[in-house]
Structure 1
Amino acid sequence: MENRADGQADERRALALASLIGVDWGSTGLRAFLVGTDGLALAERATSRGASTLSGKEAFAEVLEQVAGDWMRARPDLKVLACGMVGSLHGWLDVPYAVCPANAPALAAGVAVTPNGEAHIVPGLLYDDGELPPDVMRGEETQILGALALRPELQGASCIVLPGTHSKWAQVRDGEVQRFATHMTGELYAVLRQHSVLGRLMESGGGFDEAAFNDGIDAARVNGHLGVGHQMFAARTLGVTGRLPAAALADYLSGLLIGHELRAGLAWRGEAGLDQAPLALVGSRELCRRYELALRRYGDVPSLALDNTAPAGLLTLARAAGLAPN
């Protein structure tokens, strides 16, 4: 009972200090935050009821009520600002993309409010130069703005990498996202492991095999010109021939795919003249650690890692949109 009382007291303090109720609402999950004036989360709640799991617009209001309804009633003066797939065609509200180059005011200008006023929703970001196929993001733009707010040295010129199911590489100059590129590294890994011949020999549960992961990185770095489609098959043949144990094959494949992402991403970064600019990783500690290991194999590229920048980004956008005090 004492621990529960302490938790309730902590949440009351968080409510008293909060400037915003922020929501990072992706396809498969939702995280809600009480955001302080410094852009850090004072309290956090989570649910697996992401946008892709819901049917009907009314379901979004129900989930928000379940997760943060008591916060909203306790502090009716606080605005609710949500980013991510909640603003997609299959989300609560289809919010049009802002167009690169874009900064916080440009994104804030596109914020839309739900029909009954429960929440404001951040637009995603579109890059389309009319030559290459267009690229889009929803949610990552808010994390990028959060990284810029938390680490001002990134605002002048930087490359921000957001590892994940669909990894994003963003070029930043003068506080604007100039352009970005998506790599389906995480999804490709999951599909290959679960639904292809490569996964049949793989065993799990043995812990992270850093040596096998590095072998995959080096295969992409040294022989990437052979093509990822060819090199992926080694995640089977190395097991068939006994060159790698079954428990190491998944980490070899992970290293190979991340290695190809870095091979392309670092070249793209260099072509933009950002090879001497800071490189920041934004994401879970475990995943960022893999990217840090991979960057070392590519010449020890210096980087900094940030964990959860969504609350800071949501506060930045809320202030730019006049939804939270400066």
Structure 2
Amino acid sequence: MIAVDWGTSNFRAYRVAAGGGVVDVRTAPLGILAVAPGRFASVLDEHVADWLADGAGPVVMCGMVGSRQGWVEVPYVPSPAGLAEIAAGAQRLRVNAATSGLILPGVCCRDAAGVLDVMRGEEIQILGALDAGGDGVYCLPGTHTKFAMVAGQQIVSFRTFMTGELFDVLCRHSILAKTMDRLDGTDDAAFADGVRRARAGGALLHDLFGVRTRALFGELPSAAAASYLSGLLIGHELRDAAPAGHVTVLASERLAALYARALALAGVEYTLPDPVRALTRGCAAILALLREGGH
């Protein structure tokens, strides 16, 4: 099997052996918005042609590749949704003359006020990590962080927080950018200060201006300002999401470390499963369901 996570900004393909292990990886900064209509099959072939020639398929794709701007629009599946519901909503297609493919749907839900929320790709990681996390709260940090509740092996609800995108905008395009002289690396003490400030119960919009004033009066070094801001935003996110009990975090190593630190400061227990393993396990489980059903 070839599992593909094709998002807005990046293409990631994983060649998965029969035993479930990832034996090769191909990545490119070539998200769906960089692919012209009608070119998706060609772009896929450019990156994994040798795998396809070896008979590594079928290809199971998730993420924004199933959006309106993607290869084929695959409608969202409403929550509660588990492996069976996502498998039922999968779109079949031919990758080439010899290889079949699937594009998996995302999941949608409504909050208490009836406002819609959506995810594409994260649901596969969540369902692929059930062996590690079981029922409970799942956190998937990123540009748009997701907090999802799983019960009975189904995603029953979730909320999206624009934490990563807001951090980037504030660091590059706001007055706060003037207080920072580095965006790489993490100042652990400043990050923790930001988390604690958020947990003190203040308003986010007011706390954000405090980044500037603390820097203005020499209380926050410019080299630490981005880390403080990161802690502030993640702290407010956790305060609003209010995860209780245990949280399963699925993220890159860098983001997982930040969220682990913030959760620890909040007194919340967590586990950090491998997000790639979760993705490939989720894709494989859906493929197995479809094969069992004769599809």
Q: TM-score, normalised to structure 1's length?
A: 0.84
Look up the SS of the partner of 1:92 in the other structure. Answer: coil
Partners of 1:286 and 1:206 in 2: CA distance: 11
Give the letter for the 1:283 counterpart. A
Q: Aligned-pair distance for 1:131?
A: 2.8
1:323 and 1:167 mapped to 2: Cα distance? Answer: 34
State the secondary structure of the residue aligned to 1:179. Answer: strand
Equivalent residue, structure 1, for 2:223: 247
* CA distance, structure 2, for counterparts of residue 302 and residue 260 of structure 1: 18
Contact 1:167 1:183 in 2 (8 A): yes
* Aligned-partner Cα distance in 1 for 2:269–2:113: 32
Structure 1 counterpart of 2:221, which letter?
A: P
- Corresponding residue for residue 76 of structure 2: 97
Question: What SS does the aligned partner of 1:90 have?
Answer: coil
Segments of structure 1 that go 5 or more residues without pairing to the other structure are 1-19, 270-274
Equivalent in the alignment of 1:187:
165
Residue aligning to 2:49:
69
Q: Is residue 208 from structure 1 mapped to residue 186 from structure 2 by the alignment?
A: yes
1:169-318 matched pairs, under 5 angstroms: 169-204=147-182, 207-222=185-200, 224=201, 226-266=202-242, 269=243, 275-276=244-245, 278-299=246-267, 301-307=268-274, 308=276, 309-318=278-287
The answer (yes or no) to whether the contact 2:75–2:106 under 8 Å persists in 1 is yes
Closer/same/farther in 2, CA of residues 129 and 164 from structure 1, 3 Å limit: closer
Identify if the C-alpha distance between structure 1 residues 242 and 106 changes in structure 2 by more than 3 Å, giving closer, same or farther: same
| Contact 2:126–2:138 (8 Å) recurs in 1 | yes
Q: 1:22 Cα shift? A: 0.9
- 1:240, 1:26 → 2: CA distance? 39
Percent identity of paired positions between Structure 1 and Structure 2: 39
Post-superposition shift, 1:234? 1.2
Select between 312-321 and 284-293 the one with higher mean Cα deviation: 312-321
SS of residue matched to 1:182: strand
- 2:28 aligns with one of 47, 55, 58: 47
TM-score (normalised: structure 2): 0.93
How far 1:199 sits from its partner (Å)?
0.7
Rounded Cα–Cα distance in structure 2 between residues aligned with 1:255 and 1:145: 28
Say how many residue pairs are matched. 289
After superposition, the C-alpha distances for 1:24-58 in whole angstroms (9 at most, x for unaligned) are: 111111111111345331211111111121121x2
- Counterpart in the other structure of 1:272: none
2:110 aligns with one of 107, 124, 128 = 128
Shift of 1:113: 2.2
In 2, the alpha carbon distance for the partners of 1:213 and 1:237 equals: 17
Contact 1:96 1:123 in 2 (8 A): yes
Name the SS for the 2:5 alignment partner: strand
SS of equivalent to 1:132: coil
Helix, strand or coil for the counterpart of 2:272? strand
Please give the per-residue CA displacement for 1:210-250, whole angstroms capped at 9, x wherever unaligned: 1110110000001x3x3101110111111111101111100
Structure 1 position 205, deviation (Å): 6.2
Between structures 1 and 2, the one with greater strand share: 2
* 1:50-88 Cα shifts (integer Å, max 9, x gaps): 1121121x2211110011122112106x21110000000
Q: Deviations over 1:110-145 (max 9, x none)?
A: 000236665310000001257331100000001111
Q: SS at the partner of 2:160?
A: strand
Q: 1:206 to 1:99 in 2, by over 3 A?
A: closer
Match of 1:5 in 2: none
- Give the whole-Å Cα distance in 2 for the aligned partners of 1:74 and 1:97: 33
- Aligned-residue Cα RMSD (Å) equals 1.9
Query: How far apart, in 2, do the equivalents of 1:221 and 1:293 lie?
Result: 14
Q: Which residue of 2 aligns with 1:139?
A: 121
Partner of 2:6: 25
The letter of the residue matching 2:102 is H
Q: How does 1:148-167 map to 2 (within 5 A)?
A: 148-149=130-131, 151=132, 154-155=133-134, 157-167=135-145
Asked if 2 retains the 8 angstrom alpha-carbon contact of 1:167 and 1:186, the reply is yes
Q: What amino acid is aligned across from residue 291 of structure 1 in structure 2? A: Y
Paired residue secondary structure (1:321): helix
Give the number of the structure whose residues are more often helix, by fraction.
1
CA contact (8 A) 1:38 1:312 kept: no
Q: Which residue pairs with 2:101 in the alignment?
A: 119
Q: In the alignment, residue 139 of structure 2 is paired with which amino acid? A: V
